[in-house]
Amino acid sequence: MQSGSYIDGKWFQPKSERVVKNINPADTKDVIAEFPMATAADTERAIDAARQAFAGWKKTPGPERGRVLWRAADIARQRVDEIARLMTREEGKIFREARGEVMKGISLMEYYAGAGFRMGGKTFPSEVRDTFTYTIRQPVGVVGLISPWNFPWAIPVWKSAPALVAGNAVVFKPASLTPATAAVLAEIYEEAGLPPGVFNLVIGSGSEVGEVMVSSPHIPIISFTGSNEIGRALHIKAASRGAKVTCEMGGKNAVIVMADADLEKAAVAIRDGAFGSTGQRCTATSRVIAAEPVKAELVERLAAFAKGIKVGSGLDESVDMGPAVDESQFNTNLEYIEMAKSEGAKLVTGGGKPEGLPDGYFVEPTIFDDVKPEMRIFQEEVFGPVLSVATANNLEEALEVANSVEFGLTTSIFTQDINHVMKFIDEVETGMVHINEPTIGGEAQLPFGGVKSTGVGDREMSEEGLHFFTELKTVFINYSGESGRAMIR
Ligand code: NAP
Ligand code: MG
C-alpha cells in the first residue's frame, strides 16, 4: 500500500512537517501508516495536472472510459478481503461490513462502467420546419471530490466513478482519518489504466487542501459528503464563485413502529440500523417512534439485542460492533449520553465504555427510552451507537415527531396497513423511505440522498449522480437550405 499522494500519475511523499498518523481505533497501539500531509502548493499542482489531462480524457470515447472502470472493478474484486481488512483496521467497522462496502463499490464501478455506452442526450421536435434539435451531455472539467471517513471506499467510488465515466478529471481529498483506503482506490485506478492526471489523490487537511479546492476557479464542480458544519460553509464558499455543488450531510433517521407491526422484524431492523457500523452511517437509525401499545415489548426486545452485541476489534470475526472512529467521536458519544441523562431520558442499557477493552475507542450499544421529541438527544446527530425511543399515539403524531428534526435522509415504517404505508410515503420528509426494512442501505442504480438540512444539490449514485457531473448542451441544426427566412423562437 502506498502512503503518499498521487498527482499526475506519480506517487510522491509531500515535503511537509505535518504527518497523519493512521491509527487503528480498536487498538491505538496499531499504527497502519504515516501519511505526510499534502500542502496548498501540492493541491494546486494536482489541479493543474487535472486540467492538462482533461482535454485528452474528454475526447476518449465513453465506452473506453467505461472499460477503465470495468477493469478497476475486476482488480478490486481480486483484492476484496485485503481492502476490507485494511478498512477495518483504519476505520474500525467489522470485517463483514467492510467487505460489504467493498462489494458495493464494485457494483458502483460496474454500473457506471456501463454508463460509458449511454452518455447520450435526447432528440426533440422543433417548432421550426427543417430543424433538428437535440441535447448532448458533456463533461464539465476538473471536479473536486471531498469525502468523509465513515464509508472510506464506497463514497469515493460513488463520486469518482460517475465523474470519470462522464469524462471529467478528478482531484480527490479523502478524510484525514482514512487515507489508506483512498490510496488503494488510486492504486486500482492506476492499474486499470487511467491516464496520468485524470485522477489525483491529495491527502491533506480540510483546512489546507480542502480550502484550496473549494476556492479554486479551475474546479467548477464540488461534490462533498460530511458534516453539516463543514458542508454548509463549503457550499456557500463554492457557490459564491459560481461552482455547482452537491453536499450530502447529516442524518437523524427514524423508524416508526405501528401497533400492528411484526415486532421481531422491526427489532432486528432497528438493531442493525442503530448499532451496525457502530451507528456511524449517515443512514443509521438513531430514533424509534413506537405506538404506545407495543412500545414496552419493543424496547424489551431491543435491550436484549443490544446486550447481546459483542463489542471489540472488527478483525475478530465473532465481534458484532467495532469502536468509534477516533477519540473525538468517542468523546462526542459519551457527551451525548450524559446530555440525554440530564435531559431526563431513561437509560435502558449501555451508556459507557465496555470493560476489558482499554486500547480502543469503544462505546456500549446504548438505548434511551421515554425520550421527548424536543430533547437534544432526539434532535441532533450523534453518529454513534445511541438510540432514542419516543412514543406516538397514531400515524399523524408519529409523522409529526419524525418530521420534527432538521435532517431528512431516510425513514422507515413497520406496519401491515397499506393505508398507513401510503400516507407515510406521501408525508414523511426524507429523501429515502423504507417499508418494513431498516433505514440503512443504498444501491448503485437508485438515487441516494436527503432533503432539508441533509442535502444540497443533486442525488448521488444512479443516473442522477452521473448527470451531476455533466453539462447539457442544446443543439439546433437548420437544414432548410433557405436563406433570409425570419425565424422567431
Ligand atoms: P467532516 O468533518 O465534515 O469532514 C468531511 C470532509 O471534509 C473531510 O474530508 C474533511 O477533511 C473535509 N474538510 C474539513 N474541513 C474542510 C474545509 N474547510 N474545506 C473543505 N473540506 C474540509 O465529516 P466527517 O466527520 O468526515 O464525516 C461524518 C459526517 O458525514 C456525519 O455528519 C455524517 O452524517 C456525514 N455523512 C453523510 C452522508 C450522506 O450521504 N448524507 C454519508 C456519509 C457521511 P479532514 O478529514 O482532513 O478534516
Ligand atoms: Mg469530522
User: Which CATH topology does 253-435 take?
Assistant: Aldehyde Dehydrogenase; Chain A, domain 2 (3.40.309)
β-pair partners for 288:
255, 389
Whole-number Å distance between alpha carbons of 296 and 300: 6
Which residue's C-alpha comes closest to atom 32 of ligand 1?
A: 227
N residues, the chain: 489
**∠ Cα 415 418 419 (to 5°):** 105
Closest CA to ligand 1's atom 13:
206
Distance 338 CA to ligand 1 centre (A): 25
Taking the CA of residue 226 as reference, the ligand 1 atom at the shortest distance is 30
Residue 176 in contact with ligand 1 by CB distance below 6 A: yes
Pocket lining: 277 vs ligand 1, CB cutoff 6 Å: no
CA of 72 to the centre of ligand 1 (A): 25
- 178 Cα–ligand 1 center, Å: 11
* Residue 329: strand, helix, or coil: helix
Residue 78: CB atoms within 10 Å: 10
Say what the pLDDT of residue 156 is: 98
**Gyration radius of the chain's alpha carbons:** 24
336 lines ligand 1 (CB under 6 A): no
Q: What is the pLDDT of residue 483?
A: 80
Ligand 1 contact via 432 beta carbon (within 6 Å): no
Q: Measured between alpha carbons, how far is 439 from 413 in angstroms, rounded to an integer?
A: 9
- Per-residue tens of pLDDT for the chain, all 489 residues: 788 999 999 999 998 888 989 999 999 999 999 999 999 999 999 999 999 999 999 999 999 999 999 999 999 999 999 999 999 999 999 999 999 999 999 999 999 999 999 989 999 999 999 999 999 999 999 999 999 999 999 999 999 999 999 999 999 999 999 999 999 999 999 999 999 999 999 999 999 999 999 999 999 999 999 999 999 999 999 999 999 999 999 999 999 999 999 999 999 999 999 999 999 999 999 999 999 999 999 999 999 999 999 999 999 999 999 999 999 999 999 999 999 999 999 999 999 999 999 999 999 999 999 999 999 999 999 999 999 999 999 999 999 999 999 999 999 999 999 999 999 999 999 999 999 999 999 999 999 999 999 999 999 999 999 999 999 999 999 999 988 666 666
Give catalytic residues, as residue numbers: 248, 282
Q: How far is the CA of 230 from the centre of ligand 1 (A)?
A: 7
Q: Is the CB of 252 under 6 A from ligand 1?
A: no
Q: Which of 225, 248, 278 has most ligand 1 atoms within 8 Å of CB, for mutation?
A: 225
Helix (H) or strand (E) run with residue 411 in it: strand 410-414
Helices in 203-291 by DSSP H: which ranges?
211-215, 228-240, 263-275
* 279 φψ region: left (φ > 0), alpha (ψ -120 to 50), beta (else): left
Ligand with smallest separation from the Cα of 205:
1
Pocket test for ligand 1, best of 207, 227, 381 (most atoms within 8 A of CB): 227
Domain-wise residue ranges, the chain: 5-249+454-475, 253-435
Q: How far is it, in rounded angstroms, from Cα 183 to Cα 3?
A: 7
**Distance from the alpha carbon of residue 486 to the mean position of ligand 2, in angstroms:** 60
Q: Whose CA is nearest to atom 30 of ligand 1?
A: 226
Nearest ligand to the C-alpha atom of residue 235: 1
Distance 344 CA to ligand 2 centre (A): 28
The pTM for the full model equals 0.98
Whether the CB of 454 sits within 6 Å of ligand 1: yes
Instruction: Indicate the residue type of 371.
Output: V
Ligand positioned closest to the Cα atom of 147? 1
- The confidence score (pLDDT) of residue 487 equals 65
Dist. CA 112 → ligand 2 center (Å): 29
Cα 222 from Cα 224, distance rounded (Å): 6
Nearest CA to ligand 1 atom 31: 227
- Best residue among 145, 150, 285, 440 to mutate for probing ligand 1's pocket (most ligand atoms within 8 Å of CB) is 150
Residue identifier of the C-alpha nearest atom 48 of ligand 1: 206
Phi, psi at 467, each rounded to 5°: -60, -30
For residue 2, the model assigns a pLDDT of 87
Question: If you take atom 11 of ligand 1, which residue's CA is the nearest one?
Answer: 206
What's the CA gap between 35 and 233, in Å, rounded? 27
- Do the domains 253-435 and 5-249+454-475 match in fold? no
User: For a substitution probing ligand 1, which of 42, 146, 224, 280 has the most ligand atoms within 8 Å of its CB?
Assistant: 146
Question: Residue 484: its pLDDT value, please?
Answer: 64
Quickly name the fold that domain 5-249+454-475 has: Aldehyde Dehydrogenase; Chain A, domain 1 (3.40.605)
Q: Which segments of 4-61 does DSSP mark as H helices, in order? A: 40-59
The alpha carbon of 229 and the centre of ligand 1 are apart by a number of angstroms equal to 9
Sign of CA dihedral 20, 25, 27, 28: positive
Whether the CB of 403 sits within 6 Å of ligand 1:
no
Atom of ligand 1 nearest to the CA of 148: 26
